[in-house]
Amino acid sequence: MEYRFKIILIGPGAVGKTSILMRFIHNKFSKSYKMTIGVDFLNKELKIDDGIARLTIWDVAGQKRFRFMRKNFYSGAAGALLVFDLTRENTFQEVIRRWYPEMTQFLDKDVPFILIGNKVDLIEEIGSVTDSENAKKFAKSKGSFYIETSAKTGQNVEDAFMELTRRIADQAS
Ligand code: G3D
Ligand code: MG
């Protein structure tokens, strides 16, 4: 089977959406890389159980410009990665109060998403700031899956995309 899916990365500013995408696409973490001009999406192929998935992954290039692009951005998305920052509890609240509701407003209820707590590498230094159990519970209550990633070390980044892609493919077949 060959699949083509549009995937979107959403969440508050500076949680690491662009860094996660850079890690996934180029297997790189660069502090100076700023994807702010021109590029709105990138492509990557992912091997899954019964074939290949050609992913087009859309990233928010600048939060301000996003407001005008919203419809375009969500249009046709088969799945979403909903990202918050494990070192900033308010970003989890923002995801629940703003990003999740917005997503359900623009996408069908049954469109799969994965909830990501990013920057897990920092948690080893500073100790836990957000309640992982809460995040797990929220994801579960929406039929979703919670995973903690680090764009810096690469931990669980591919797994997050893989889990989402599998869920979309399962639904499509
Ligand atoms: P955004 O696209 O969601 O706005 P960015 O977020 O990818 O631009 O990342 C915001 C900042 O967080 C960047 O730092 C980036 O290097 C850092 N960051 C992203 N992911 C991780 C991670 O997994 N671990 C750590 N330690 N840092 C991360 P700057 O300093 O450039 O603002
Ligand atoms: Mg970004």
Tens digits of per-residue pLDDT, 136-165?
A: 999 999 999 999 999 999 999 999 999 999
Quick one: pLDDT at residue 32? 61
The secondary structure of 115-150 as a DSSP string is EEEE-HHHHHHH---S-HHHHHHHHHHTT-EEEEE-
Q: Which residue among 8, 19, 26 has the greatest number of ligand 1 atoms within 8 angstroms of its CB, and so is best to mutate? A: 19
The residue whose CA is least distant from atom 5 of ligand 1 is: 16
End-to-end CA gap in the chain: 10
Give whole-number Cα distances, 21 to 10, 27, 113, 143, 166, in Å: 11, 9, 16, 24, 18
What CATH number is associated with residue 96?
3.40.50.300
Higher pLDDT, 110 or 154: 154
Q: Which of 40, 77, 76 is nearest to 61 (CA)?
A: 40
User: Is 139 in contact with 146 (CB distance < 8 Å)?
Assistant: yes
Query: Is there a contact between 136 and 130 (Cβ–Cβ < 8 Å)?
Result: no
What's the angle, vertex CA 23, arms to CA 2 and CA 141, rounded to 5?
70
Q: How many domains does the chain have?
A: 1
Structure confidence by residue, pLDDT tens digits, 14-72 = 999 999 999 999 999 976 655 544 457 889 999 998 899 999 999 876 666 667 778 88
The residue whose C-alpha atom lies closest to atom 4 belonging to ligand 1 is 14
In this structure, are strands 2-10 and 41-48 parallel, antiparallel, or unpaired? unpaired
- State residue 126's pLDDT score: 86
Write out the residue range of the structural domain in which residue 108 sits. 2-172
Q: Which atom of ligand 1 is nearest to the CA of 31?
A: 16
Other CB atoms within a 10 A radius of the CB of residue 127 amount to: 7
Nearest ligand, CA 149: 1
152 Ramachandran zone, left/alpha/beta (phi>0; psi -120 to 50): alpha
Q: Which atom of ligand 1 is nearest to the CA of 83?
A: 3
In the block, residue with structure tokens 């180029």? 26
